[in-house]
């Protein structure tokens, strides 16, 4: 600053600098601006509907990881923004733009539903805003349409079920019925199940489905009873999953035809499902009973802070926070240094309650898949169904 300025003029310039602009209206370099303001973090998650509790658990997890850093990212304050996406794909682009265009977030954390994710994905690719996916497993996001600014901290839709079929055949169930909500997540979960089940020697005698988020299961359960398979495998989650397990038991099927699932079936719903969930077997990248200090401390702290038990969604949210912290630290809080930020995130090793995982080239977790069984109010881990499983990332060029 030159010395011949009057004290008043100098004062004005200094005040302007704190706001990121000089008194004459000239903008300061981006990195100075970036350091002086808050980091803007937006949640786009379901806070209503069948996935409402998933959205809450994810937000809790993210906040927990950030709170462990004193509530800041690389020493910078955070301003939070929130949009309820209602798991409604038709509103997804508009909702994502509320965060990106209106609120000008630096990071968009979202979402749960694969169809809604496709809207976010379009906005993320067009705007270049950093998008961290804390759940939705839709394949193309980390396959043919992978993007340098999009990172997933959860799973791809076929990852959890890739190990399910073999586990069922090993237990002697050679003829199965598959049932799901008919949308990307259910259909792609089926791909993993179909491949693993048929490869292990099983036969899928029928695929059943209903539109998301419909929970009128009765006619389909009647059909299952008539088909008499050795076992049933499914993808459901959230409120709908609890209702499915209850209806399955109420229809008298629970003791006759063993029920298996992509592990989301029994996540966050054990209180709601009650005895109907007891004994259900599933495969997933997390289990309550993982016997590591890391997991046990996480569970204790989460329960203390939020007065509820954590589940896979809380873990995914927590890991999203851990990834963001690692990225932000690598660029000393200057998220405008995109090349360095992405490089740090690509090389991140996430020390998660689920076990350590790394990022694949296409930005999807490489992780273990556990075999779990519901015992009381716990998803007990009874084995490792797949070690260091990565999604194919087919068609991704990064």
* CB 42 within 8 Å of CB 107: yes
Q: Does 285 bind ligand PHB (CB under 6 A)?
A: no
Nearest to residue 137, comparing CAs of 362, 398, 325?
Answer: 362
List all residues 6 or more positions away from 203 whose beta carbon is below 8 Å from its beta carbon.
174, 175, 176
Q: 337 or 372, CB closer to ligand PHB? A: 372
Residue identified by tokens 């409120």 is: 239
Shortest Cβ distance from residue 138 to ligand PHB (Å)?
6
Cβ-count burial of 257 within 10 angstroms (0-12 exposed, 13-18 middle, 19+ buried)?
buried
Q: Tell me the two tokens of residue 155.
A: 């799973």
Binding mask 63-102 for ligand PHB (x = CB under 6 A): ----------------------------------------
List all residues 6 or more positions away from 69 whose beta carbon is below 8 Å from its beta carbon.
325
Looking at the DSSP assignment, which residues form a beta bridge with residue 282? 261, 372
- Within a 10 A sphere around the Cβ of 296, how many other Cβ atoms? 13
Shortest Cβ distance from residue 295 to ligand PHB (Å)?
20
Shortest Cβ distance from residue 157 to ligand PHB (Å)?
6
Q: 151 or 342, CB closer to ligand PHB? A: 151
Shortest Cβ distance from residue 20 to ligand PHB (Å)?
38
* Torsion, Cα of 389, 392, 397, 398 (10° steps): -10
Q: Does 114 bind ligand PHB (CB under 6 A)?
A: yes
Q: Does 153 bind ligand PHB (CB under 6 A)?
A: no
Q: What span, in angstroms and rounded, lies between the C-alpha atoms of 282 and 370?
A: 8
Q: Does 264 bind ligand PHB (CB under 6 A)?
A: yes
Q: 130 or 234, CB closer to ligand PHB? A: 234
| HEC per residue, 123-169 | HHHHHCCEEEECCCCCHHHHCCCCCCCEEECCCCCCCHHHHHHHHHH
By CB under 6 A, how many residues form the interface with ligand PHB? 11
Q: Does 152 bind ligand PHB (CB under 6 A)?
A: no
Q: Does 113 bind ligand PHB (CB under 6 A)?
A: yes
Any idea what the Cα angle at residue 316 is, between residues 91 and 247, rounded to 5°?
70
Residues 116-145 that bind ligand PHB (CB under 6 A): 135-138
Q: Does 185 bind ligand PHB (CB under 6 A)?
A: yes
Q: Does 364 bind ligand PHB (CB under 6 A)?
A: no
Q: Which of 112, 123, 208, 232 binds ligand PHB (CB under 6 A)?
A: 112
Shortest Cβ distance from residue 195 to ligand PHB (Å)?
18
Q: 76 or 143, CB closer to ligand PHB? A: 143
Q: Which of 224, 232, 237, 331 binds ligand PHB (CB under 6 A)?
A: 237
Q: 258 or 263, CB closer to ligand PHB? A: 263
Nearest to residue 223, comparing CAs of 205, 242, 241?
Answer: 205
What does the binding site for ligand PHB look like in residue numbers (CB under 6 A)?
A: 112-114, 135-138, 157, 185, 237, 264
């Amino acid at each position: 600053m030159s010395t011949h300025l009057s004290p008043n003029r100098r004062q004005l310039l200094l005040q302007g600098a704190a706001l990121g602009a000089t008194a004459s209206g000239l903008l300061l370099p981006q990195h100075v601006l970036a350091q002086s303001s808050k980091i803007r973090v937006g949640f786009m998650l379901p806070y209503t509907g069948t996935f409402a509790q998933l959205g809450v658990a994810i937000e809790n997890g993210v906040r927990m990881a950030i709170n462990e850093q004193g509530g800041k990212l690389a020493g910078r304050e955070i301003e939070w923004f929130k949009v309820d996406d209602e798991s409604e794909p038709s509103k997804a682009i508009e909702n994502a733009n509320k965060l990106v265009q209106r609120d000008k977030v630096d990071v968009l954390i979202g979402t749960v539903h694969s169809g809604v994710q496709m809207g976010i994905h379009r906005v993320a690719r067009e705007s270049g805003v950093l998008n961290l996916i804390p759940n939705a497993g839709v394949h193309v996001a980390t396959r043919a349409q992978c993007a340098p600014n999009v990172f997933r901290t959860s799973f791809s839709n076929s990852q959890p079920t890739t190990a399910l079929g073999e586990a069922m055949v090993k237990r002697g169930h050679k003829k199965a019925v598959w049932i799901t909500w008919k949308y990307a997540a259910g259909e792609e979960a089926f791909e993993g199940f179909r491949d693993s089940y048929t490869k292990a020697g099983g036969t899928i005698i029928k695929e059943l489905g209903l539109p998301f988020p419909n929970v009128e299961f009765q006619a389909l359960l009647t059909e299952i009873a008539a088909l008499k398979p050795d076992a049933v495998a499914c993808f459901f989650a959230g409120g709908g999953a609890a209702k499915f397990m209850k209806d399955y038991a109420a229809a008298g099927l629970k003791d006759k035809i063993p029920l298996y699932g992509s592990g989301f079936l029994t996540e966050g719903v054990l209180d709601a499902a009650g005895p109907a969930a007891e004994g259900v077997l599933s495969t997933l990248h997390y289990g309550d009973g993982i016997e590591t200090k890391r997991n046990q401390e996480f569970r204790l702290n989460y329960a203390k802070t939020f007065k509820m038990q954590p589940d896979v969604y809380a873990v995914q949210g927590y890991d999203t926070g851990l990834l963001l912290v690692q990225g932000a630290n690598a660029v000393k809080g200057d998220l405008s240094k995109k090349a360095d930020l992405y490089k740090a995130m690509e090389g991140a090793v996430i020390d998660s309650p689920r076990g350590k995982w790394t990022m694949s080239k296409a930005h999807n977790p490489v992780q273990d898949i556990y075999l779990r069984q519901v015992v009381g109010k716990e998803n007990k881990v009874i084995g490792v169904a797949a070690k260091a499983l990565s999604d194919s990332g087919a068609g991704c060029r990064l």
